[in-house]
A and B are shown apart, each in its own frame.
Chain A
């Protein structure tokens, strides 16, 4: 049976989220945790296929859990669950290695659909996060030393630009003359590159500080 880690400090949210997960995946074993400490202990005990992570927790940020657990469990999908679309928080989660994000306030149907999409490799991307990504990789394609290992391709940049203008995935696909699934693939690659670039940056900083 699949194991799903639920890291959420609010009891009510845990309850309805568990219901949601069961609705989305059917027979799953949900391991509810309330703090980073508990979650880290749980990750050591079981292999998880999915971790639903709240950002603000009593003993720290869920983002830190992702940054720590994701490299050790590459097969574990990490999805950040946040109250609303605060792009600063979400962007930080993506940099830490999150595979997607969900907004708690969305309708349940929408949540189930988004979750499934993430698991299928088609994560969401809002215009504001797209703008942040573009900014992160540098305007008009120019890039600094740090981002070299994860430069955006021309197509990726085009996709991001259209999404930043408020286009949906389908509309973007239409404009670029490609399939929606391909757009989703680009988005997923952007996610990965974001994570790689931020890890490269961390490594570079560690090197500068003499840690490596």
Chain B
């Protein structure tokens, strides 16, 4: 899909089998090799062993430091350089210009090279004489080549920062090969790096290098500079809306070639600045036009606009800073000594911004995973950059740097970087593969549909961290992004409800294509788990019902007849009672298994009455049964029915066995959702401290099972002129 969008076939990729990470490693290797080559060339240049600084006035260079053998006092100002053959050259401070194209005219640029050539001719004689402003003469022997520690730190800073840009640009290309934006990123990154490699050789020279090499590198630098600047411009024309076709692309690079040929062959001198006008100012101005057009084109597409905003600001601010630091002052013909590493850092910042744009806005259709690809490379580079920065800022040698570097890294940089990374990348830390096992487990544990929907919402909350999730009635079956990425609609499980997620990642991001795909995958997964759950539950329920039926049958057909036989045939009353108790327990078990539903309290009371009145009447006891007139449709669960019935039976059995009573009162009342029952008799009662029998303990257990209480007390039958008997009072919550 990506390739089709770019109009390029995947089949025609250069090195089609190259994995992204391998491409990245290759880029790193090539970059490193080029850096080493640049260092080698730089070291092969002659030098005087003097650390120069620019004097504020036009004429003269200041000796900041020199080799001890020279014995030049630091701060001395040299105004001329004389050759043994008598030729002489004024030391104008533009000799320290890092890039001769800072000269605004071809004439000045050519004069610079004339003097470079002259200096090299002086050097070739092996000895030069520096003339101070006070007329003092300092003979200096020319070194054939520079030592490694004579190479300024800025050399490494240039190369390393530019290599980082190259890695970012090529990193995008490695993951988005075949796409025009990926290619432009690669051209921009690599072009910038190569131009800086050239610059690093001549920009960090002491005073002069081989003039021909200088000319060649300067020309190469120009070509590469123009190329990457215009490639950056092309990105404006293509992202997010494609405003230019392949023809415009070809034309642009033709223009690049023409501009370069023009300034190399010096046909036409541009106004304002011979080099920067076309190289930098024209593309920058054009980018403003394209930026405006893109801004208008994305008026109704907030996702694209958010990405565009980041993209535009990255470029404009970085290039703007670089321009105001370096290009603008140099155009006023006022040579300033802004060191080149500053704009270089600004360009690095631009590429880093691209990288974070990918992280946050999915620039170039890349997502956060892109980072993991090169973060290990980049972090190594960044550390090197920090080292290089320390060299310049602290102005210390490599040898003394190491402990500082380690301390700074350990105590400041790493915690700072970690904090920054957490802040920037935190919303993107959700990794599906890490959560998958837990996800499936939690989905599996969910029970019925409502619980499942709740769990599903929770999962989406975890994955997308939306501001809110609404459950809405809706028949939508499609997963869609609405409100320009502000909302995502996810269909529910029963096709009646759908979930509306508002504000991706706590509103910091808009929902994009990747989010929709992720949601789709999660939805499919949840559907599968949901179906499996349902089927499993059905099977389990069927199995449980079958098993329940089997247990019931076994109890009913095997155990019950045997217990009844024991009861009916045993002459021993103890055994008969035990068998009866066992029989009742099993009867209740079967009852619960067979009739698990709730029953009306009214019916339960009728059943108990019939049973108890029969028992009491057979023993010639009278029953006074009182129930409320209305029972308000109260229900008993099957367990309440069993337990409450047990208490009643047990109480009646006790009365029949021990009380020697002739009347029994059983009263029921409902109050505040509780069923109160009291069983009284007019028997002999019990002594207050009589040991509790098995029956009483059994009743207590049953009452506890009912979540209720039971008490024993004396019946107050005095008003009826009868003996005080025993009253059992029990109450438990209904419902």
Q: Which residues of A contact B (CB under 8 A)?
A: 10, 12-13, 15-16, 20, 56, 83-84, 86, 104-105, 108, 110, 126-128, 131, 163-168, 171
How far is the CB of B512 from the nearest CB of chain A, in Å? 62
B587 at interface, CB cutoff 8 A: yes
Give the distance in Å from the alpha carbon of A164 to the alpha carbon of B560 in the complex.
Answer: 27
Measured in the bound complex, the distance between the Cα atoms of B610 and A12 in whole Å is 30
B610 touches A16 (CB 8 A): no
Residues of A within 8 A of B553 (CB): 56
CB-based contact A110/B618 at 8 Å: yes
Knowing A83-B556, A105-B583, A127-B610, the reply to whether A168 touches B565 (Cβ < 8 A) is: no
5 more A-B contacts (CB under 8 A) besides A84-B587, A166-B613, A166-B625? A16-B568, A56-B557, A83-B561, A128-B603, A168-B614
Bound Cα distance from A167 to B606, whole angstroms: 8
B522 to chain A: closest CB distance in Å? Answer: 48
Shortest C-beta distance, B376 to chain A (Å), equals: 74
24 contacts between A and B (CB under 8 A): A10-B562, A10-B565, A12-B561, A12-B569, A13-B565, A15-B569, A16-B565, A56-B553, A83-B560, A83-B561, A83-B564, A83-B587, A104-B560, A104-B568, A127-B606, A127-B610, A131-B606, A163-B610, A166-B607, A166-B610, A166-B625, A167-B609, A168-B614, A171-B613
Chain B residues near A166 (CB-CB < 8 A): 605-610, 613, 625
Contacting pair A16 B561 (CB below 8 A) = no
Smallest distance from the beta carbon of A62 to chain B beta carbons, Å?
A: 13
A168:B613 contact, CB within 8 angstroms: yes
Q: How far is the CB of B734 from chain A (nearest CB, A)?
A: 19
Chain A residues with CB under 8 Å of B608's CB are 166
What A residues does B607 contact at CB under 8 A?
A: 126-128, 166
Report whether B606 and A165 are in contact in the complex, using a CB–CB cutoff of 8 Å.
yes
Q: How far does the Cβ of A167 sit from chain B's closest Cβ, in whole Å?
A: 7
Distance from A33 Cβ to chain B, minimum over Cβ atoms (Å): 16
* Main secondary structure on B side of the interface with A: helix
Write out the residue numbers on chain B whose beta carbons fall within 8 Å of the beta carbon of A110. Answer: 618
Rounded to whole Å, the gap between the CB of B666 and the closest CB of chain A is: 11
State the Cβ distance, B552 to closest chain A Cβ, in Å: 10
B569 interface neighbour in A16, A56, A127, Cβ under 8 Å: A16
- Which residues of the other chain, A, contact B561 by a CB distance below 8 angstroms? 10, 12-13, 83, 104
| Known contacts A10-B565, A83-B556; A164/B617 CB under 8 A | no
Q: Which of A13, A105, A126, A164 has the most CB of B within 10 A?
A: A105
Q: Considering the complex of A and B, which 3 residue pairs feature the smallest CB-CB distances, nearest first?
A: A166-B609, A12-B565, A166-B606
Task: Give residues 590-613 of B contacting A (CB, 8 Å).
Answer: 590, 594, 603, 605-610, 613
> Contact: B603 with A131, CB < 8 Å?
yes
| Minimum distance in angstroms from A55 CB to a CB of chain B | 9
A92 vs B293: C-alpha distance in the bound complex, in angstroms? 87
- Interface presence of B176 (CB below 8 A): no
| Residue interface bits B251-267, CB-to-A below 8 A is 1, else 0 | 00000000000000000
The answer for the CA separation of A119 and B159 in the assembled complex, in Å, is: 116
Bound together, the chains give a CA A189 to CA B560 distance in angstroms of 32
Please report the C-alpha to C-alpha distance between residue A20 and residue B564 in the assembled complex, in whole angstroms: 13
B residues 187-216 with Cβ under 8 Å of A? none
Question: In the complex, what residue of chain B is closest to A125 when comparing beta carbons?
Answer: B610
How long is the Cα–Cα vector from A137 to B568 in the complex, in angstroms?
37
Q: Do B562 and A165 touch across chains, with their CB atoms under 8 A apart? A: no
The winner among B567, B583, B605, B606 for most chain A CB atoms within 10 A is B606
Instruction: Indicate whether A126 sits within 8 Å of B610 (C-beta atoms), given known contacts A110-B618, A168-B617.
Output: yes
Q: A13-B561, A168-B613 are in contact. Are A127 and B603 (CB under 8 A)?
A: yes
With the chains together, A124 CA to B290 CA distance in Å? 100
Give Cα A3–Cα B587 distance, bound, in whole angstroms.
32
**Min C-beta distance of B565 to chain A, whole Å:** 4
Closest to B560 in A: A83
Point out which of A15, A110, A168 has the most chain B C-beta atoms below 10 A from its C-beta. Answer: A168
| Residue in chain A with minimal CB distance to B625 | A166
Give the residue of B568, B594, B606, B618 whose beta carbon is less than 8 angstroms from that of A164.
B606
Partner of A168, one of B567, B603, B610: B610
Separation of A16 and B564 alpha carbons in the complex (Å): 10
* Complex Cα spacing A104 to B569, Å: 12
Complex formed: what's the CA distance from A86 to B555 in Å?
A: 14
Q: Which residues of A contact B614 (CB under 8 A)?
A: 168
In the complex, what residues of A have CB within 8 A of residue B606's CB? Answer: 127-128, 131, 164-166
Q: Which residues of B contact A86 (CB under 8 A)?
A: 594
Q: Looking across the interface, which residue of chain A has its beta carbon closest to that of B558?
A: A10
Q: Which of A126, A127, A167 has the most CB of B within 10 A?
A: A127
Shortest CB distance A75–B (Å)? 29
Closest to A103 in B: B564
Give the residues in chain B near A163, CB-CB below 8 Å.
610
- A165 to chain B: closest residue by CB: B606
Residues of A within 8 A of B618 (CB): 110
Given A83-B556, A86-B594, A105-B583: A13 touches B564 (CB 8 Å cut-off)? yes
Residues on B with C-beta less than 8 A from A13 are 561, 564-565
In the complex, the chain A residue whose C-beta lies closest to that of B600 is A131
- Note all chain A residues with C-beta closer than 8 A to B587: 83-84, 105
By a CB distance below 8 angstroms, the chain B residues around A168 are: 610, 613-614, 617
Chain A residues near B564 (CB, 8 Å)? 13, 83, 104-105
Chain A proximity of B380: nearest CB distance (Å): 81
Which residues of the partner chain A approach B560 to less than 8 Å between Cβ atoms?
Answer: 83-84, 104
